[in-house]
Structure 1
Amino acid sequence: MSDRQELLSGMAVTVFKLNGQFLHVAEGLARPVGLTAAHWQVLGAVTRTPLPVAGIAREMGITRQAVQRIADLLAESGMVEYLPNPAHRRAKLVTATVQGREAVRRIGPAHAAYADRLCEALGDDRAAAVHRLLRELSDTLERLAAEEDGR
C-alpha cells in the first residue's frame, strides 16, 4: 500500500472512530431531555431554518430515508411540524416547534459544559484549528465527489 493510501485509510478510520465518539457524547447530552442523538441532530438542523428532508440529509451526511423516519417520529411527538414548501409542492419543509426548540434549549447547559471541557483539554486555538481542518477535509471530499459525479 502506498503512503497516500495509508494516509487515506488512516483518516477514514480516525473519522469513523470520531463519529462513534461524537455520537456517544451526543447520546449522553440528549438522553436527559428524552431525545436520542439522531433526534437532536435532525432537530438542530431545523431549529433556525425550515428545511426539506433531503436538505437535512445533505447537511448531516445521512440518508434521506433515515431523516424521514426521524422527522416523522419527531412530528408524532410534537417536536417538529411539516410546512408547505413554496419551492417544491411535494417536498414539505420540516421546522422545529416550540416544544422542539425547548428540548434543544434544555440540552444547552450540558452541551456548553462539555464544550468547555473539550476546549480546555485541547486549548481554544487548537480546537479551532481542528474544526477548520475537519471542515476543509469535508469540503474537499465533497468537491472530489462532485467532480466524479460530473464525469
Structure 2
Amino acid sequence: MTQEATRLLSGTALAVFRLNGQFLDVSERMARPAGLTAARWQVLGAVLHEPLPVSGIARAMGITRQSVQRIADLLVDQGLAEYAPNPAHSRAKLLLPTDQGREAIRRIGPAHRDLAERLAEELGSEEFTRVLDSLERLSAALERLAAE
C-alpha cells in the first residue's frame, strides 16, 4: 500500500494546489470590480457574521496570523473594516466590517451566485455536496495527523 498511498497523496496534493490556484484566479476576478482582492475578500468575509480577532481568522483560514494582520490593517486603512475592543482579550482586538465593507461584499454576491449555480449545474448537486464533504474530511484528517 505504501507506493499506492504515496501516489494518492501526491496526486491529491497536486490537484488541491491546482484547485487553489483556480479559486484564487476566479476570486480575484470577482473581487476586483468591488475594489477588493481575493485575500481582502477572504478576510472580510470571515468576519461578516461575527467579529473575530486576527488569530481566530488565521486559524479558520489556515494561514499565518501575520498574513491576516497585514490584510486586516489594509482593510481598516481602506475603511472597509474596523477594530473593536475584545471583551475576552484586552490586547487582541476584534475585526469587523464597516458598512462600506459590507457593501463591497454585497457587490460580489451576483458573480459568486452565478459561479455557484454554474458549478452546481456542471457537477450536479449531489456530486457538488460529495466534493465538499470529501474536502472537509481530508482537511480534518490532515489536522488530526498534524496534531500527533
In the TM superposition, residue 138 of structure 1 has moved relative to its aligned partner by: 0.6
- TM-score if structure 1 supplies the norm length? 0.94
Secondary structure at the counterpart of residue 88 of structure 1: coil
1:143 paired with 2:144, answer yes
In the TM superposition, residue 88 of structure 1 has moved relative to its aligned partner by: 1.1
Which residue does the alignment assign to 2:104?
103
| Deviation readout 1:23-70 (Å, 9 max, x if unpaired) | 011001101111000000000000110011011011111111110000
In the TM superposition, residue 4 of structure 1 has moved relative to its aligned partner by: 0.6
Secondary structure at the counterpart of residue 71 of structure 2: helix
In the alignment, the residues of structure 2 paired with residue 126 and residue 2 of structure 1 have an alpha-carbon distance, to the nearest angstrom, of 28
In the alignment, the residues of structure 1 paired with residue 17 and residue 25 of structure 2 have an alpha-carbon distance, to the nearest angstrom, of 13
In the TM superposition, residue 7 of structure 1 has moved relative to its aligned partner by: 0.8
In the alignment, the residues of structure 1 paired with residue 33 and residue 93 of structure 2 have an alpha-carbon distance, to the nearest angstrom, of 30
What amino acid sits opposite 2:126 in the alignment? D
In the TM superposition, residue 144 of structure 1 has moved relative to its aligned partner by: 1.3
Unaligned runs of 5+ residues in structure 1 are none
1:93 paired with 2:81, answer no
Which residue does the alignment assign to 2:60?
59
What amino acid sits opposite 1:39 in the alignment? R
In the alignment, the residues of structure 1 paired with residue 98 and residue 49 of structure 2 have an alpha-carbon distance, to the nearest angstrom, of 11
What amino acid sits opposite 1:31 in the alignment? R
- TM-score if structure 2 supplies the norm length? 0.96
In the TM superposition, residue 98 of structure 1 has moved relative to its aligned partner by: 0.9
| CA RMSD after TM alignment | 0.9
Unaligned runs of 5+ residues in structure 2 are none
Secondary structure at the counterpart of residue 81 of structure 1: strand
Secondary structure at the counterpart of residue 38 of structure 1: helix
In the alignment, the residues of structure 1 paired with residue 130 and residue 86 of structure 2 have an alpha-carbon distance, to the nearest angstrom, of 37
Task: Provide the aligned length of Structure 1 versus Structure 2.
Answer: 147
In the TM superposition, residue 86 of structure 1 has moved relative to its aligned partner by: 1.2
Structure 1 stretches of 4+ moved >2 Å: none
Secondary structure at the counterpart of residue 68 of structure 2: helix
Secondary structure at the counterpart of residue 43 of structure 1: helix
Which residue does the alignment assign to 2:129?
128
In the TM superposition, residue 93 of structure 1 has moved relative to its aligned partner by: 0.6
* Percent of aligned pairs with the same amino acid: 64
In the alignment, the residues of structure 2 paired with residue 27 and residue 144 of structure 1 have an alpha-carbon distance, to the nearest angstrom, of 32
